[in-house]
Amino acid sequence: MLGKMKAIVKPRPGPGLEMATVDIPQIGPRDVLVKVRATSICGTDLHIYNWDAWAQSRIKTPLVLGHELAGDVVEVGDQVKLLKVGDYISADSHVSDGVCYVCRNGQPHICQNLKILGVDTQGCFSEYAAIPEVCAWVNDKSLPPEVASVQEPLGNAVYTVLAEPITGKTVAVFGDGPAGLNATGVARASGAGTIFLVGKHDFRLGIGKQMGASVVFNVQEPGTDVVPSILAATDGVGVDVVLEMTGNPQAINQGFQVLRKGGRFSAFGIPSNPVELDLNSALIFKGARILGINGRLMWDTWYQMAGLLASGKLDPRPVITHQIRLEDYQEGFALMMSKERNVGKVVMFP
């Protein structure tokens, strides 16, 4: 499709973003063109906004940001088999090559030649986006666009929680950002037993309660002592499952302290630096296992998520705290970087 569209771009190296008018992207034979109905802001976008060390090393400008979306297919490449014009789709941001050793072992989400939408390719903070078929997901037409858009980060939580069976297990979630809140909701909808949620902001912990946390801890409140509290609440045994959604070294170490012998530790949060671990007490004598979580299983996670959403037992809308126009993106970024963090997910409508 020929024409122009508005988009949020990083025009050149350096902090900040701009709203600009750019060409509608041309699609290749295995891509579709999507008219974006909704798109949402991820923590990765903040790194690019702020132009931190990671962004400087990874991002080529000019770049249209954005990798979470819902939209309608308006054009289809001639090698595409799954999709047709009119389909209502979202996308996994992980673009795999489909032929490497890892892809052919059933793990395309960690493809050896992985590209990320809106990071390594032009993204979807725009009116139109080119989406490779290999990472496209067809939505149920009844799914609200704001929910469809946040499936990508919700899928992180689904994968983190369901990397092993969770039903009936006691769970400790570390982190009250969107990832932790979504993980809480997924664990609850999947039949977890007691869920302990550990965070730093009352606003978010309140959402955590809505999502199904049994007990919440605000570590910034004086007197909060997470480890002894969780151990006491589990008869000294500890929890079956720890979901680490922060990357914070203190949270990681607390997670291992409350993990029971033989338990499962899902590691999703990304530490800024190497972490010192007492492997003996954390892992080896405990007979525990640590699962590194990146992306979402394609497409097991998406099918699980679709089933959970269809069941009516998982509703991520309490986590979607703000819905704004794409033009108001600066407001969205400001909210997500505010000290107070009175925000969950921000969805933008082009």
Measured distance CA(7)–CA(129) in Å, rounded: 10
Q: Which of 1, 279, 334, 337 binds a second copy (CB under 8 A)?
A: 279
Only one of the segments 148-156, 277-285, 318-326, 327-335 lies at the binding site for a second copy (rule: CB under 8 A); that segment is 277-285
Considering only residues 69 to 128 of the shown chain, the ones binding a second copy according to CB under 8 A are 79, 81-82, 97-99, 101-102, 104-107, 109-110, 112
Contact between 291 and a second copy by CB under 8 A: the answer reads yes
Q: Does the active-site annotation cover 47?
A: yes
Measured distance CA(250)–CA(119) in Å, rounded: 29
Only one of the segments 215-223, 280-288, 324-332, 341-349 lies at the binding site for a second copy (rule: CB under 8 A); that segment is 280-288
Question: Closest separation between CB of residue 114 and a second copy, Å?
Answer: 9
Question: Closest separation between CB of residue 267 and a second copy, Å?
Answer: 6
Cβ distance to a second copy smaller for residue 230 or 298: 298
Per-residue tokens: 214: 């049994």
Only one of the segments 59-67, 85-93, 201-209, 293-301 lies at the binding site for a second copy (rule: CB under 8 A); that segment is 293-301
Cβ distance to a second copy smaller for residue 6 or 30: 30
Give the residue among 8, 32, 29 at the shortest CA–CA distance from 18: 8
3 state DSSP class of 230: helix
Measured distance CA(194)–CA(208) in Å, rounded: 13
Please state the φ and ψ torsions of residue 332, each to the nearest 5 degrees. Answer: -65, -45
Question: Closest separation between CB of residue 224 and a second copy, Å?
Answer: 23
Question: Closest separation between CB of residue 16 and a second copy, Å?
Answer: 26
Measured distance CA(122)–CA(31) in Å, rounded: 13
Return the sign of the alpha-carbon dihedral for residues 334, 202, 44, 141: negative
Only one of the segments 15-23, 147-155, 159-167, 341-349 lies at the binding site for a second copy (rule: CB under 8 A); that segment is 159-167
Considering only residues 217 to 276 of the shown chain, the ones binding a second copy according to CB under 8 A are 235, 237, 252, 260-262, 267-268, 270-271, 274-276
Measured distance CA(275)–CA(269) in Å, rounded: 12
Location of structure tokens 């992306």: 295
Q: Does the active-site annotation cover 94?
A: no
Q: Which of 16, 43, 168, 228 binds a second copy (CB under 8 A)?
A: 168
Strands (E) across 139-244 are located at 171-174, 195-199, 215-218, 239-244
**Active site (catalytic) residues:** 44, 47
